[in-house]
């Protein structure tokens, strides 16, 4: 999960170093270079090193997995494609629908291959998590944006509760320009109040002294310091912290915003067959369980063998909501820009 890179004072390990982890061998035959986010490969029991060892042992040949952690995320590869520079990676892990739309808006040539019909296990992915109509990005996990709150101080149940006088100054959110959960929460409010009404709702939040901080880490650390009794976060929060009064999960209007993550093969992958094999491996029940539990997310399939603790403390909203690619394309940038002019100035 992109959020869990480092939490000050919690002891989750050091943040990942940007760049290539492991040897500096170039992508090519026998090497699958995976571009991803830092907490996938570093931190407390990250999934990346486990995945590398398990996949290489399963292959039992000369195929190795290496990781890159680009400082600018997928933007780094957009820029390289615009400059006709080599991508030097085979697989991107951690792609969401917002980034896919940005890629399609900014590039004329495909950055990723369409894998329709090439993945045997693709039909195991839950239909409600699919977000790429062209079959390039294959979901491998998902999170649900929710509130985390202190039940000794607040009891949020609806969107209107957040604008009530009794909750003045009680909510911390993330900047939708900088943060995945912040943008997902913004989209959740648009889903609830429509493109014509969401800015009015945000004005009500501002009038009620909502705090907008930059990243998930910024917001969650402020929450851990008890600067407010509510924060936008993930419905898997109790997997990490347990069922305590300070870590209750709130689904506004019984909803949570689904934010699936996908993996996609670069069009210029040096070893496309081994890359597909790794993607197939990531969709097996055993690996799906490991990804979910180590990444503190939900699996993308329905037969992952999750342990009892995860099943107990990871909460699925009664009504997951989200926007499709087609609904966001042509609208997302404008929504975020209008929000930023009003809220994040």
Round to whole Å and give the CA distance between 267 and 85.
13
Q: pLDDT tens-digit profile of 85-109?
A: 999 999 999 999 999 999 999 999 9
Averaged over 258-266, what is the pLDDT?
97
State the pTM of this model: 0.88
Q: Are 228 and 212 in contact (CB under 8 A)?
A: no
| Distances from the Cα of 74 to the Cα of 37, 101, 267, angstroms | 10, 12, 14
Task: Identify the weakest region by mean pLDDT among 152-156, 173-177, 289-293, 341-345.
Answer: 341-345
pLDDT in tens, 145-183: 999 999 999 999 999 999 999 999 999 999 999 999 999
Mean pLDDT for the chain? 91
The model's pLDDT over 18-63, given as tens digits with 9 standing for 90+, comes to 344 333 334 456 899 999 999 999 988 999 999 999 999 998 778 9
The pair of three-digit structure tokens given for residue 124, joined into one six-digit string: 């195991």
For β-strands 138-149 and 319-321, DSSP reports them as: unpaired
Q: What is the pLDDT of residues 222-260, one digit of tens each?
A: 999 999 999 999 999 999 999 999 999 999 999 999 999
Beta strand pairing call for 138-149 and 255-265: antiparallel
Sign of the CA dihedral running 48, 49, 54, 56 = positive
Domains and CATH numbers, the chain: 19-142+261-307 (3.40.190.10), 144-257+316-343 (3.40.190.10)
SS3 138: strand
């Amino acid at each position: 999960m992109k959020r869990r890179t480092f939490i000050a004072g919690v002891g989750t390990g050091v943040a990942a170093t940007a760049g290539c982890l492991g040897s500096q061998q170039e992508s090519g035959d026998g090497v699958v270079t995976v571009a991803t986010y830092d907490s996938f490969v570093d931190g407390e029991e990250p999934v990346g090193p486990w995945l590398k060892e398990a996949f290489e042992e399963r292959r039992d040949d000369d195929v190795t997995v290496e990781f890159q952690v680009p400082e600018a995320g997928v933007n780094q590869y957009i820029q390289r494609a615009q400059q006709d520079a080599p991508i030097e990676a085979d697989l991107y892990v951690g792609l969401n629908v917002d980034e896919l739309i940005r890629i399609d808006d900014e590039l004329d040539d495909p950055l990723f291959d369409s894998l329709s019909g090439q993945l045997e296990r693709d039909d195991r992915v839950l239909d409600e998590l699919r977000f790429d109509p062209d079959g390039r990005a294959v979901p491998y996990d998902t999170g649900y944006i929710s509130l985390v709150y202190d039940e000794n101080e607040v009891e949020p149940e609806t969107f209107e509760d957040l604008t009530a006088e009794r909750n003045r100054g009680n909510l911390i959110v993330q900047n939708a320009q900088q943060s995945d959960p912040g943008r997902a929460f913004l989209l959740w409010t648009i889903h609830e109040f429509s493109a014509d009404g969401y800015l009015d709702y945000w004005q009500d939040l501002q009038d009620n002294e909502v705090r907008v901080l930059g990243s998930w880490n910024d917001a969650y650390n402020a929450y851990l310091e008890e600067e407010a009794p509510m924060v936008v976060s993930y419905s898997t929060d109790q997997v990490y912290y347990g069922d305590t009064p300070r870590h209750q999960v709130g689904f506004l209007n019984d909803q949570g915003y689904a934010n699936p993550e996908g993996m996609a093969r670069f069009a210029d992958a040096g070893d496309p067959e081994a890359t597909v094999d790794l993607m197939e491996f990531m969709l097996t029940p055993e690996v799906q369980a490991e990804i979910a539990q180590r990444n503190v997310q939900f699996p993308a399939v329905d037969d992952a063998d999750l342990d009892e603790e995860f099943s107990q403390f990871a909460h699925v909203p009664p009504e997951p909501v989200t926007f499709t690619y087609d609904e966001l394309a042509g609208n997302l940038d404008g929504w975020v820009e209008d929000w930023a002019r009003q809220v994040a100035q």
